[in-house]
Amino acid sequence: MADLITGQVLRFVADPFAVPPEEAAIHDAHGAILVEGGHVVAAGPVDAVAARAGAARRTDMGRALLLPGFVDAHMHYPQTGIIASWGKRLIDWLDTYTFPEEMRFEEPAYAAARAERTLDLALAHGTTTLASFCTIHSVSVDAFFSAAEARGMAVVAGKTCMDRNAPAGLTDTAESAFDASEALIEAWHGKGRARYAITPRFSPTSSREQLEALGALWAQHPDCLMQTHLSEQTDEIAWMHDLFPEARDYLDTYEAFGLLGERALYGHAIHLRPRERARLAETGAALVHCPTSNSFIGSGLFDMARARAEGLSVGLATDTGGGSSFSMLRTMAAAYEIGQLAGSALHPAQLLWLATEGSARALHMEGEIGTLAPGSAADLVALDLGATPAIAQRAARAESVWEEVFPTIMMGDDRAVAGVWVGGRRALG
């Protein structure tokens, strides 16, 4: 049975960092999306789309804005329970809050409950795809992929590997990280909508032997992603240099072991040197901007406009629980504020694109998610652009869709999420 969903529709036809932002999208004030078999068949002006809808079931979302579901390109589902923990910077925050919580994921029932809670929170916030770190425990990976499968969600995840500088009970070895990750690739990569990311946590918690083993594993499974952290805090960079005195820079600790390539994802990547920027651009690897985390943990200002101008691929992410919100709307607002501090005002088109197609491209999933192009999975969100009185009174004065959506970007949260569809099935609203 086909579905016709009506509302305002915004469709990107170009990268808004490559063309004038307002020209990157087509806005249909009276728009519709036709969905069949879990996929988008057509999106555009309601008259044209409805003409193809036949006996489709109709869902009228009024003036809500229909977009691809949000794509959170870097988060840690095991940290859902410790989001908004006070007073620490990165290394102390890991030791005080994160590692004790991650130890609990040895227990399959606990991991399953946390995975389900996280995915339900994500859907409630309009996020339909997440790329998550798990813990060192394989059961934490099974829990996450199983919960996503039950919800029909396309997700990326991997076993977080650490063989030093982490508490006993939260470390593996070079060999066990290789073997366990390989078994998880066999079990999950490409199963339904699941994708595997080989996941060294960050170079300070991996020995050279472990990084080398994971580089070799990636070479054997080149269609997997590889996710890790890069240059988040200055103290962390100094620590990395103590541990790897031979490294030219932070990226070199990955590059030297085969952990740099087009399908690599580097969270944060704030304090980069010129050689790192050049290599990242050359290889097509993606950076993932985590703006609420970067201010919450006190990491620094990521310069989005500069990164995109240099040709770097960038996704957007909550970094839950270092990030302080599950909402990609709050995350866009934080990206805007950090952009202002770094010297450029990101356009609402750029923010929305980063939260959808930009993140999808970073994950190499742009054929499946992050767009309304025919053939994409029907993972959709409908945003109420007047969800609170404060937002509504500002949106009422808008003279363009950009002016109408920007108050929701800046002041919105899960209250703005009027509907969510995953693979064409209504998941919320």
The answer to whether residue 159 forms part of the interface with ligand GUN (CB under 6 A) is no
| R_g of the chain computed on alpha carbons | 21
The answer to whether residue 293 forms part of the interface with ligand GUN (CB under 6 A) is yes
Q: How far is the CB of 73 from Zn ion (least distance, A)?
A: 11
The answer to whether residue 163 forms part of the interface with ligand GUN (CB under 6 A) is no
The residue assigned the tokens 């809050």 is 97
The answer to whether residue 404 forms part of the interface with ligand GUN (CB under 6 A) is no
Q: How far is the CB of 82 from ligand GUN (least distance, A)?
A: 10
List the single partner that 379 binds among ligand GUN, Zn ion, none, CB under 5 to 8 Å by kind: none
By CB under 6 A, name the one of 195, 229, 263, 279 that touches ligand GUN: 229
List the single partner that 201 binds among ligand GUN, Zn ion, none, CB under 5 to 8 Å by kind: ligand GUN
- With contacts defined by CB under 6 A, how many residues of the chain interact with ligand GUN? 12
Q: How far is the CB of 79 from ligand GUN (least distance, A)?
A: 6
Of the pair 76, 125, the CB lying nearest ligand GUN is at 76
Phi, psi of 268 (to 5 degrees): 80, -75
By CB under 6 A, name the one of 7, 31, 215, 322 that touches ligand GUN: 322
3-class SS of residue 44: strand
| H runs (alpha helix) in 104-207 | 108-124, 138-151, 174-188
**Which among 247, 254, 330, 256 is positioned nearest to 287, based on CA atoms?**
254
**Which among 377, 353, 373 is positioned nearest to 289, based on CA atoms?**
353
Q: How far is the CB of 406 from Zn ion (least distance, A)?
A: 28
The answer to whether residue 412 forms part of the interface with ligand GUN (CB under 6 A) is no
By CB under 6 A, name the one of 36, 101, 142, 232 that touches ligand GUN: 232
Count of C-beta atoms within a 10 Å radius of residue 340: 12
By CB under 6 A, name the one of 5, 31, 76, 416 that touches ligand GUN: 76
Provide the residue type at 211 as one letter. L
- Order of strands across the sheet that contains 25-36: 39-45, 25-36, 3-12, 57-68, 380-383, 417-422, 425-428
Q: How far is the CB of 381 from Zn ion (least distance, A)?
A: 23
Q: What would the x/- binding string for ligand GUN be over residues 86 to 125, using CB under 6 A? A: ----x---x---x---------------------------
What does each C-alpha distance from 295 to 65, 197, 292, 409 come to in angstroms? Answer: 29, 26, 5, 18
d(CA 422, CA 149) in angstroms, rounded, equals 11
The answer to whether residue 319 forms part of the interface with ligand GUN (CB under 6 A) is yes
The answer to whether residue 201 forms part of the interface with ligand GUN (CB under 6 A) is yes
Of the pair 254, 402, the CB lying nearest ligand GUN is at 254
How far from each other are the two terminal CA atoms of the chain, in whole angstroms? 20
Strands (E), 222-349: 225-230, 264-268, 286-289, 313-316
Q: How far is the CB of 338 from ligand GUN (least distance, A)?
A: 15
Binding-site ranges for ligand GUN (CB under 6 A) = 76, 90, 94, 98, 201-202, 229, 232, 293, 297, 319, 322
